Structure 1
Amino acid sequence: MSALPAFSAPPSLLSPAQSDLVETLTTSLDGAGLWWLSGYAAGLARAQALPTTRPMAVPAADAQPAPTLTIVYGSQTGNARRAAESLAQQVEAAGLGVRVLRADTYATRELKQERHLIVVISTQGDGDPPDDARGFVEFITGKRAPRLPELQFAVLGLGDSSYPQFCAVGRVLDERFAALGAKRWLPRGDADLDIETVATPWLANALTVARESLKPQAPLATVTPLRPLAAATSAYTRDNPFHAELLANQRITGRNRDGAWSDKDIRHIELSLEGSGLHYQAGDALGVWPHNPPQLVDAVLTTLALDGEQPVAHGGTDLPLREWLSSRRELTRLSRPFVVSHAARAKDAALDARLVPDNAAGLADLLAHHQLIDLLRAHPAPWSAEALVASLRPLVPRLYSIASSSKAVGDEAHLTVAHIEYRVETGTDDDGTDGLRWGAASSFLARAAEGERIRVFIEPNERFRLPTDGSRDVIMIGPGTGVAPFRGFLQERDTTGATGRNWLFFGNPHARTDFLYQSEWQDALRRGRLHRLDLAFSRDALRAITADDASAAPARKTYVQDRLREHGAEVFAWLEGGAHLYVCGDATRMAKDVHAALLALIAEHGGRSAEDAAEYLNALQAQGRYARDVY
């Protein structure tokens, strides 16, 4: 981290002890924490009648307090946070009062007093709010939300149009604020994965209306802040990624007794961050900028009869079409806007039927289970190179939970990557891919050779952190590649000498082929660094029931949520003793099933009703003791 100027405060303002406390607090906070603290401190200052004899800049006696803009964000992958903080910096630079808060740190009791509010919030999966905004959204949409006739508000929604419930959370909040009597400052913005297309002009408009509405009643003297915002720890960011050397690319799923490989191709990836200045904490993610599979790029060019060497100018950039399709445009994920554009060209009744309002299921199936090449082949239509580049979504980076602790591995970052590659039936005509389909980033990483350079950046995950108190117990639930951050957690706890107990729940189809990092977990058990390991190998449980046993119970797969229920009394005892609980992995099914299992065991072993169990789990989340990294 860049060195900060030495902290000092006039003795007339702070005692030495107070100065020490302020320095300790501010040097330990991240950007979001500092923004929150500045707003909180400003609120306290406004609430107190500070003596004018203190050497501080204050408004003239007859002036009204300057209005303040509150920006609340809910973010799962960091995009909403970046947009909110960018707006806050612009508003502050314009000399206006502003505070920016993560949704789970916003005191909802303050809502009645708000006059200017902007919410920047993402939508996850099937219309769900990000984890850090669940309580905020529940409050706003619930019965306890107050009437807000004096509030001016605006909502910027972020989402992914490949999902049917695109930007649904932003839409719900926008409509609910209006129903509570608040006045829209700006029309709602709905930003797709190419966020800047919508967010940049929307944020510019937000700054304009803020300047008009938040003009101070009287000029204020300039106040030098206690310390400037911390400079970035590295010159390398999402938009200026570091070219990291690939140190290792090892398949960590194995072969069965018959010599056949596991159905899963899971890779352990090691990347060098040496010389980058990049730093991460256990629980953070690594962003990877991928290239699309060359075989897929060739197939798209062939299907559309386009020349890959044709130069295409778009958005101020001039590149050959092949380069646009390889590194700048999404080919493995369909979006509704592109399907609509293609349907207008194809004039195909079957495709048009997918887009009618009452066929949401048909469109959802198309977006979830088909790629661009499938659409182009099933519903042929002419495209020019320029129109294709303009209509396809920009290729965006993929985030992977970091599977290491920098305290243990130094200037490296390790990943656990599931290589997505599968075959589909393509009919009698060859689509140029041999029927193979891929995940963009996982395929890119899987085919990369040691020594190659991968464009990466660090994406902080502030809500997925180990407890600062090393004596606290931790429960980690991570089936499949969801185990990745817990490898980093265990390395971190081992290196720092944490004394709390560590309990890991892990699951996958087969123990013989899919027991990821088996030797590491067994070594940690032997050394007493991992105190409990509970496993759920779902397909092995099926094999345990013999076909000739007519009295056997129906075959049933066993998952991590089943292990949670089996050990419910002990899990609840750990939680009652102050343990922190973490879940990582699939958001669609696993995370929901695990959440339901937690509610059930809390109700059963805590003697609570279903409603009280939900309150218990919500309280853990509010305390930072129940954190999820789901995708």
Structure 2
Amino acid sequence: MIRDGIIPLPYRRGFFNFKSYMKKCEVESLNLQVMNSPFNQEQTESLNRLLPTLTEAQRIWLSGYLAAPQTIASPVAAGLAVQNTLSSQNEVQTATREVTLLFGSETGNGQTLAEELSKKLAERDFKVTLSSLDDFKTKDLKKVQDLLIVTATHGEGDPPDNALSFYEFINSRRAPKLKDVRFSVLSLGDQSYEFFCQTGKDFDKRLEELGGERLYPRVDCDVDFDESAAEWIEGVLGTLGEGQQAKSAGETLLAQQQAGAGLLTEEQPAYTRSNPFRAEVLDNLNLNGQGSNKETRHLELSLDGSNLAFEPGDSLGIYPENDPILVDKLINEMNWNPEETVPVNKQGDILSLREALHTHFEITRLTKPLLEQAAKLFNNNGLKELLAPGQEEELKAYLEGRDVLDLIQNFPPEELPPGDFIKTLRKIPARLYSISSSSKANPDEVHITVGTVRYNAHGRDRTGVCSGQFAERTQPGEVVPVYIQRNPNFKFPADRDTPVIMIGPGTGVAPFRSFLEEREEDGVKGKTWLFFGDQHFATDFLYQVEWQKWLKESILTKMDVAFSRDTDEKVYVQHRMLEKSRDLYQWLKEGANVYICGDEKYMANDVHETFIAILEKEGGMSHEEAEEYLNDMRRQKRYQRDVY
């Protein structure tokens, strides 16, 4: 209570906490009166009329304004006072529930989003535990209060490598009941795969089965995930932040006031997925010799002026363009006007139809959601029959190897405005390529190694969108939109004395060129062993001169190669590994880190099984013990893969 017109000490210590004072008055159901306040009659009547009309944000601003030294009558001073007010309030605020934020990430997107959310939560004074799913101690799961999971789906519905152990645990009988846990899941995936976002769906379902309460609905993101992920983040923050709106309002006000006073300086634009840097192509070479069945492009791009930084193991994201010949065929098939303008995003940006199909929308891949939307527009009975229940296998077969031109030729739509049709298309997704250069060895440059994809399907010759662009249309001097994709799940050891085993057939050798270039630049000569494979020694030995130089200089300790088409019986890298099984096992016992890069479906699986066989043979382990040995290496970050 306030007596004799004196404000008690708790209300004046440090500053006049107007908001706390008013809260106390509200709790005690008191109107301000002359006898219970330091104001005269006229002031009291004015305040009693004003106070009930104030919003929470207005009360905070007013408390900050009154707290500011009266000799400094500026909005910035008031804003700083707001900050002090909020800090003081947080000291006595009821403890907030703790947030556990876990991520499963193969290429780094999931981890980046989790880190972004963690930062936002910390700014709102939440206590946050951030971890990969496999690094989280499962025994602590029953202690969790609010659980947020950000996870990708890998391959055919599989969890990422750094989520495997947690996924197995949560689906086992050992998983605890979670009746006091609130949760939400953000799932990353690609709609062109049959098991779209399956890992996230599995986590979401299982957490509910264990008794958890969904604090915000699961959001499933396609390859163009920025807007959907932002929606989930804001939704989660809104749910968790109920009761903390005052703090957010004060922070917004402070930022606005500082900006108005010129305290927020404009920084150089940050180049990201959503704001790529336009990098000039410096060189574009074919690495394969004459007569090869393959075409592997080595591209060097300028990053001058971008401030983009990367490490060995990171990837370069590139936004490609569709083949203009394919675009023209599509427009002609539909008798559209290529110069008709169409909107290309929710912000209302406008492009000509031809430019939109050339640079913005994906037209080379079909997905089930695309066909479902097309069926509503085309009014084609054949397409409706393909999507009917019981036709799953036929639909899956149809999607394989076909594009949008196939779709409109096979199931001709009735008259269809282009603006309606493009609403069914998704943005061209970025392509990720392992960086094959060191920024220390090549300042302001980035190199990538791209295998050109060419094939014939359903009566037409086709090329990969990005690899075809580089092979057929990209010349030095042109620019391409790029960004750096960190890959924290494929990082070489900080301890330079750690032995390193690298397995990278074909273009999978790219990150190892980056790693060895950097070792050469730093003068490091620890033990390194490279396994490389391709079709022919004479035409397909990518970067041969560089490997030989590094062997001579002891930057590369050992190298084993396998050229599958040079012998009657095909020989692959896993065969070379088996031949050197004793030495490989010795390197593993010495603490070697293993890195595998390349095709997941065949090579990476074969290499994994080969390591199992080596551990069984040389280490005397059972199959289960060998599997656990590799799982333990993976948990220790000694067994890492960058597969696609």
SS in 2 for 1:407: coil
Match of 1:474 among 490, 500, 503: 500
Report the equivalent of 2:607: 594
> What is the alpha-carbon distance in structure 1 between the residues aligned to residue 462 and residue 99 of structure 2?
47
Matched with 2:428 is 395
Change (3 A) 1:357 1:609: farther
Identity of aligned residues (%): 41
Deviates more, 1:204-213 or 1:273-282: 204-213
**Residues in 2 aligned to 1:107 and 1:367: alpha-carbon distance in whole angstroms:** 41
Describe the superposition over 1:87-130 as per-residue Cα deviations: whole angstroms up to 9, x where unpaired: 33333344433343232332222211101011111111201112
Amino acid at match of 2:436: A
Residue 329 of structure 1 aligns to a residue whose secondary structure is: coil
- In structure 2, do the counterparts of structure 1 residues 284 and 232 end up closer, same or farther at CA, with 3 Å as the change threshold? farther
Question: Given the alignment, which residue of 515, 531, 537 partners 2:563?
Answer: 537
Which of 324, 342, 346 aligns to 1:294? It is 324
Question: Is 1:422 aligned with 2:460?
Answer: no
Residue 139 of structure 1: CA displacement?
A: 2.1
Q: Distance in 2 between matches of 1:628 and 1:300?
A: 39
Show the counterpart of 2:578.
565
Give 1:499's aligned residue: 525
Of 599, 603, 606, 2:619 maps to 606
Q: Distance in 2 between matches of 1:377 and 1:331?
A: 14
Who is 1:21 aligned against? none
Task: Tell me which residue corresponds to 1:331.
Answer: 363
Residue 445 (structure 1) aligned with residue 477 (structure 2): no
SS in 2 for 1:369: coil
Shift of 1:361: 3.6
**Partners of 1:557 and 1:216 in 2: CA distance:** 68
Residues of 1 paired with 2:388 and 2:117: CA distance? Answer: 37
CA distance in 1: counterparts of 2:531 and 2:375, whole angstroms = 46
Counterpart among 244, 258, 270 of residue 300 in structure 2: 270
Does residue 82 of structure 1 match 2:117?
no
Could you list the per-position Cα deviations for residues 353-397 of structure 1 after superposition, in whole angstroms to 9, with x for gaps in the alignment? 543454444333333322222222222224321112211011121
CA distance in 2, matches of 1:356, 1:561: 44
Of residues 340-349 and 203-212 in structure 1, the stretch that sits farther from structure 2 once superposed is 340-349
Of the candidates 219, 235, 238, which is equivalent to residue 273 of structure 2? 238
- Which aligned segments of 4 or more residues in structure 1 are displaced greater than 6 angstroms? 57-63, 213-217, 231-234
- The letter for the 1-side match of 2:517 is Q
User: How far 1:309 moved relative to its partner?
Assistant: 0.7
If you compute each CA radius of gyration, which structure gives the higher value, 1 or 2?
A: 2
Q: Paired residue for 1:190, among 202, 208, 220?
A: 220
1:215: how far off?
Answer: 9.2
Q: Hey, what does 2:352 align to over in structure 1?
A: 320
| Per-residue deviation, residues 508-540 of structure 1 (Å, max 9, x unmatched) | 122222211112212222232222211122222
Counterpart in the other structure of 2:188: 158
Distance across 2 between alignment mates of 1:183 and 1:262 = 58
- Find the aligned partners of 1:90 and 1:164 in 2 and give their Cα distance: 34
Contact kept? 1:164, 1:360, Cα under 8 Å: no
- Residue 143 of structure 1 corresponds to 173
Secondary structure of the residue aligned to 1:444 is: helix
1:539 alignment partner, SS class = coil
Task: Give the 3-state SS of the residue equivalent to 1:451 in structure 2.
Answer: coil
TM-score normalised per structure 2: 0.79
Change (3 A) 1:348 1:385: closer
Map of 2:336 onto structure 1: 306
What's the counterpart of residue 97 of structure 2? 67
1:187: Cα distance to partner?
2.3
Distance 1:345 1:60 in 2: 55
**Quick one: distance in 1 between partners of 2:267 and 2:132?**
20
CA contact (8 A) 1:233 1:277 kept: no
The whole-number CA distance in structure 1 between the counterparts of 2:142 and 2:88 is 26
> Structure 1 residues 424 and 82 mapped into 2: Cα distance closer, same or farther (>3 Å)?
same
What is the CA-CA distance between 1:587 and the residue it aligns to? 1.6
Cα 1:130–1:276, aligned 2, differ >3 Å: closer, same or farther?
Answer: same
Name 1:484's counterpart in structure 2: 510
CA RMSD of aligned residues (A): 2.6
Code of the residue aligned with 1:442 in structure 2: it is S
Larger deviation, residues 476-485 vs 101-110: 101-110
- Which moved further from structure 2: 304-313 or 163-172? 304-313
Cα deviation, residue 621, structure 1: 1.0
- Partner SS, residue 174 of structure 2: coil
Q: 2:483 aligns with which of 447, 457, 460?
A: 457
In 1, the alpha carbon distance for the partners of 2:435 and 2:102 equals 27
Matched, 1:411 2:444: yes
Question: In 1, are the aligned partners of 2:508 and 2:597 still within 8 Å (CA)?
Answer: yes
The corresponding residue for 1:248 is 283
Cα pair distance change 1:606/1:506, threshold 3 Å: same
CA contact (8 A) 2:323 2:465 kept: yes
1:61, distance to aligned residue in structure 2 (A): 9.7
Q: For the Cα contact (< 8 Å) 2:185–2:200, is it kept in 1?
A: yes
Pairing 1:130–2:130 present: no
Q: Which amino acid in structure 2 is aligned with residue 400 of structure 1?
A: Y
Amino acid at match of 2:272: T
Q: Which residue of 1 aligns with 2:637?
A: 624
Partners of 2:440 and 2:518 within 8 A in 1: yes
Deviates more, 1:527-536 or 1:287-296: 527-536
Could you tell me how far 1:135 is from its partner in structure 2? 2.2
Residues 170 and 292 of structure 1, relative CA distance in 2, 3 Å threshold: same
Q: Deviations over 1:116-168 (max 9, x none)?
A: 01111111120111222222222222233222111111111111010001011
- 2:246 and 2:148 map into 1 onto residues whose CA distance is 19
Q: How far apart in 2 are the matches of 1:521 and 1:506?
A: 10
> Can you give the 5+ residue segments of structure 2 that lack an aligned partner in the other structure?
1-86, 248-265
The amino acid of 1:335's aligned partner reads T
The secondary structure found in structure 2 opposite 1:120 is strand
Question: 2:361 corresponds to which letter in structure 1?
Answer: R
Distance 1:354 1:466, change over 3 A: same
Of stretches 89-98 and 143-152 in structure 1, the one that deviates more from structure 2 is 89-98
1:329–1:395: 8 Å Cα contact kept in structure 2?
A: yes
Post-superposition shift, 1:341? 2.0
In 2 relative to 1, CA 562–234 (structure 1 residues): closer, same or farther, beyond 3 Å? Answer: farther
Alignment partners' CA distance in 1, 2:115 and 2:361: 27
Q: Does 1:583 align with 2:562?
A: no
The alignment covers a number of residue pairs equal to: 538
C-alpha separation between the residues in 2 aligned to 1:210 and 1:83?
17
Aligned to 1:107: 137
Asked whether the equivalents of residues 297 and 451 of structure 2 are also in contact (C-alpha less than 8 Å), the reply is: yes
Amino acid at match of 2:446: A
Alignment match, 1:6: none
User: Are 1:518 and 2:553 counterparts?
Assistant: no
What amino acid does structure 2 have at the position aligned with 1:337?
P
